[in-house]
Structure 1
Amino acid sequence: MAKIAVVGVGPGGKEHLTPAAIRAVAEADVLVGGERSLALFSGQPGEIFTIKNNLQEMIEYIRERMDEKKIAVIASGDPGMYGILQYLRRHFTPAQLQVIPGISSVQYACARLAVSWHDAVVVSTHGRDRTVLAETVAGNSKVVVLAGPEEPPPVLASVLVNAGMKDKTAYVCAELSYPAEEINAFTILDLARWEGQWDKRNYVMVILDEQPMDLPDTGNKR
């Protein structure tokens, strides 16, 4: 039986936790995860390891305990969608891992926009060459971009404008499933010209070849 449960906890709100995720965490003796994900299970008894800039230390910590204790590695969203699963597979075999999928930020953002995502191309800009973003958006009519706090949407939009794309629509989604959730629609050109402040947080951008549509009730808006 696998000793390491890799648990996707969804976009962040407790209401999006699956019963399988809740059960796996409840049965664990050790929880491993980022601060925000661990906060979903505050009060859980047992050992806690907080992931920061210490992934190799995390691997050693898990190896020291996996034969004696049940370990749950908590991953935001879905662990297989630009998540920690890829890193864990470098160190553990499939037989040692039980992966419990969660709702990814891609799924959640598209659901909030009532947009299907089976035909979307997903790209992450975390630590990657931004020319890849321009090439991807140029060649596809539906692109979902996972952007980090150091890559605010106006900066990424400027990359697209410089590559000759200014009329596509970008839906900028932030703090998905949290009380401060925001979803706003821009043309790429308008987004590149936006001079407002963007908090340091993660964003999902859904970029489509269409005119901005009426948004469903998506909470806060700029």
Structure 2
Amino acid sequence: MIYIVGVGPGNLDFLTEKSIKIIRQAHILVGGKRNLELVDSLRVNEVNKIVYDSKFDLESFLKCINSNDNVVFLASGDPMLYGIFLTISKYVDKNNICVIPGISAVQYLCAKLKISMERLITLSAHGGFINEEFLREIVFALEKYKKVAIFTDPSNTPKYIISNLMKNQEFYNLAYENKDIFRLYIGENLSYENERISVFCFEDIKHLPEDFAVLNTMLITIGGM
């Protein structure tokens, strides 16, 4: 059986009991280096650990595994929210996959800020290009639902995303017209000891810092709670 387990935002305290049980029963653990290190303390028996990085050949690996093995993929946050479920399901029948949900960075950030996730639009800039279509999606979400969460990556940083948004006339007008209630929240290293959550108003984002941690999540609101 293939399991895809959401390991949450990064701290062991946020793993569910079900996730811990499945991880402890694994014959093979597959995940990014950070996620493999996260669950090291949970192991009771020896297990084959495989790093899922740019060199990892997922298709070949899935063709070679034994059907009797419990193969557990460790997914950051929740596997179903811009996670690895869709990638794995391209090669494996969904009936042979068991997904264990986890707490996403967006869930964690909203909980810390006491901002409801009802009608929240979540987008991802991970591994993509910040084009006009992506910017329009952000504007649409803010116009209609008043809040949007964005997963970033090392290339598409908060500074880069906001710089592009400020060049978009629709976004600029919307943010300016609502400048008193416009807020940008950036959560860094969420759930870790060095966690930091910063809040910026409209005037602040014109001079947004560049030195945010690699692990960060953005949330933009216009009075949306």
The TM-score with structure 2 as length reference comes to 0.86
Partner-residue secondary structure (3-state), 2:149:
strand
For 1:97, the equivalent position in structure 2 comes to 97
For 1:191, the equivalent position in structure 2 comes to 205
Partner-residue secondary structure (3-state), 1:69:
coil
User: How far apart are residue 134 of structure 1 and its match?
Assistant: 2.3
Q: In the alignment, is the contact (CA less than 8 A) between 2:108 and 2:190 conserved in 1?
A: yes
Q: Which of 143, 164, 183 is the matching residue for 1:169?
A: 183
Describe the shift of the 1:177–1:148 C-alpha distance in structure 2 as closer, same or farther (beyond 3 A). Answer: same
* C-alpha separation in 2, matches of 1:105 and 1:80: 13
User: How far apart are residue 64 of structure 1 and its match?
Assistant: 1.4
For 1:12, the equivalent position in structure 2 comes to 10
Partner-residue secondary structure (3-state), 2:136:
helix
Q: In the alignment, is the contact (CA less than 8 A) between 1:4 and 1:66 conserved in 2?
A: no
* C-alpha separation in 2, matches of 1:130 and 1:169: 22
* C-alpha separation in 2, matches of 1:137 and 1:65: 41
Q: Report sequence identity in percent.
A: 28
For 1:50, the equivalent position in structure 2 comes to 51
Describe the shift of the 1:196–1:70 C-alpha distance in structure 2 as closer, same or farther (beyond 3 A). Answer: closer
Q: In the alignment, is the contact (CA less than 8 A) between 2:162 and 2:205 conserved in 1?
A: yes
* C-alpha separation in 2, matches of 1:188 and 1:203: 20
* C-alpha separation in 2, matches of 1:113 and 1:68: 44
* C-alpha separation in 1, matches of 2:193 and 2:206: 26
Q: In the alignment, is the contact (CA less than 8 A) between 1:161 and 1:188 conserved in 2?
A: no
Greater mean alpha carbon deviation, residues 36-45 or residues 68-77: 36-45
Greater mean alpha carbon deviation, residues 58-67 or residues 74-83: 58-67
For 2:117, the equivalent position in structure 1 comes to 117
Equivalenced residue count is 208
User: How far apart are residue 142 of structure 1 and its match?
Assistant: 0.6
For 1:70, the equivalent position in structure 2 comes to 70
For 2:36, the equivalent position in structure 1 comes to 38
User: How far apart are residue 189 of structure 1 and its match?
Assistant: 4.2
> What runs of 5+ residues in structure 2 fail to find an aligned partner?
none
Partner-residue secondary structure (3-state), 2:161:
helix
For 2:147, the equivalent position in structure 1 comes to 142
Cα deviation 1:157-183 (Å, max 9, x = unaligned): 111211132433110111111111110
Q: In the alignment, is the contact (CA less than 8 A) between 2:185 and 2:197 conserved in 1?
A: yes
Q: Does 1:205 align with 2:203?
A: no
Q: Once superposed, what is the RMSD of the aligned Cα atoms?
A: 1.9
The TM-score with structure 1 as length reference comes to 0.87
Describe the shift of the 1:206–1:85 C-alpha distance in structure 2 as closer, same or farther (beyond 3 A). Answer: same
Q: In the alignment, is the contact (CA less than 8 A) between 1:10 and 1:103 conserved in 2?
A: yes
* C-alpha separation in 2, matches of 1:192 and 1:15: 37
